[in-house]
């Protein structure tokens, strides 16, 4: 059984690493980009999520982001997030590298979370650098569109997420690849593994000798490199693995 094999493998980890994608938060009610019901079946990603279109038209950006923000701010960690936090607490994971910007791993109690695509919990003024909580800006969206900086009045307030056309955060990428090179067990959860360079992380790990487990609702391009592949929902699969290990 693949669940037992996954549990056996995680239990051997001295330097386990997890990579998570939008799928891990789907059961918290946050829509994924790709896959069934994914947002990009509704929007053109480059139009909605590129720095170019943000700068050209912050109002359009915020009108989409307003609804997504409301959902993400109300979301709570699901049993999949909790299971990953339990694995870290029990010493089977050294860190989680995530493509998510929702902050739910931290809410679940995970200590070392490397955010490759930034965080949606904060908003930065591109003119003066003022940082503000997304929850504060979210309240203003009801009366002001686009929202303006409270210090300098600029209309270019951008969530601290990485949009298409922006560089990856260098320190996060460096840490993620370094941990991947040292990993003995690589757990990949809820990622379509088509967004690069995030998808390099498991490749580096496998090349360096890590044994890989892939848990995803549907097949991924890296399934063939994995020792264990489980096609299922992370909020159901991960707690079962934790229960088998006894973590």
User: Site residues (CB under 6 A) for ligand NAD?
Assistant: 21-23, 25-27, 30, 32-35, 38, 99-102, 117, 190-192, 195, 216-218, 233-235
Please identify, using beta-carbon distances, which residue of 25 and 65 lies nearer to ligand NAD: 25
Please identify, using beta-carbon distances, which residue of 53 and 216 lies nearer to ligand NAD: 216
225/66 Cα distance (integer angstroms): 39
Please identify, using beta-carbon distances, which residue of 134 and 233 lies nearer to Zn ion: 134
Answer with the entry of ligand NAD, Zn ion, none that 130 interacts with (C-beta below 5 to 8 A by kind): Zn ion
Burial class (CB in 10 A: 0-12, 13-18, 19+), 17: buried
Q: How far is the CB of 150 from Zn ion (least distance, A)?
A: 8
Verify whether residue 117 is a known catalytic residue: yes
Point out the catalytic residue in the list 15, 117, 174, 196. Answer: 117
Answer with the entry of ligand NAD, Zn ion, none that 214 interacts with (C-beta below 5 to 8 A by kind): none
Beta strands in the chain (DSSP E): 16-20, 95-98, 113-115, 118-125, 131-133, 157-161, 185-189, 211-216, 228-231
Answer with the entry of ligand NAD, Zn ion, none that 140 interacts with (C-beta below 5 to 8 A by kind): none
Q: How far is the CB of 126 from ligand NAD (least distance, A)?
A: 20
193/140 Cα distance (integer angstroms): 35
128 binds Zn ion (CB under 5 A): yes
Q: How far is the CB of 129 from Zn ion (least distance, A)?
A: 7
Helix (H, G, I), strand (E, B) or coil at 12: coil
Using alpha carbons, select from 25, 28, 16, 44 the residue that is nearest to residue 183: 16
Please identify, using beta-carbon distances, which residue of 23 and 202 lies nearer to ligand NAD: 23
What is the DSSP-derived secondary structure letter of residue 187? E
Burial class (CB in 10 A: 0-12, 13-18, 19+), 10: buried
Residues with a catalytic annotation lie at 117
């Amino acid at each position: 059984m693949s669940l037992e094999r996954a549990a056996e493998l995680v239990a051997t980890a001295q330097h386990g690493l997890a990579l998570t994608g939008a799928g891990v938060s789907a059961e918290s009610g946050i829509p994924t980009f790709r896959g069934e019901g994914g947002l990009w079946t509704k929007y053109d990603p480059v139009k909605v999520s590129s720095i170019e279109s943000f700068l050209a038209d912050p109002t359009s950006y915020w009108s989409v982001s307003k609804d997504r923000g409301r959902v993400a701010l109300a979301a709570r960690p699901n049993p999949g997030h909790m299971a990953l936090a339990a694995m870290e607490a029990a010493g089977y994971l050294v860190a989680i590298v995530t493509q998510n910007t929702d902050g739910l791993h931290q809410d679940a109690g995970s200590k070392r979370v490397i955010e490759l695509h930034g965080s949606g919990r904060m908003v930065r003024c591109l003119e003066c650098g003022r940082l503000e909580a997304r929850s504060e800006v979210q309240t203003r969206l009801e009366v002001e569109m686009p929202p303006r900086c409270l210090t300098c009045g600029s209309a270019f307030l951008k969530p601290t997420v990485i949009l298409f056309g922006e560089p990856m955060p260098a320190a996060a990428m460096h840490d993620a690849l370094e941990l991947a090179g040292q990993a003995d067990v690589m757990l990949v959860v809820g990622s379509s593994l088509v967004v690069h360079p995030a998808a390099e992380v498991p490749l580096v790990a496998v090349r360096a000798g890590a044994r890989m487990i892939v848990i995803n609702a549907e097949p991924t391009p890296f399934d063939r490199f994995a020792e264990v592949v489980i096609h299922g929902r992370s909020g159901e699969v991960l707690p079962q693995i934790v229960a088998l290990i006894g973590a």
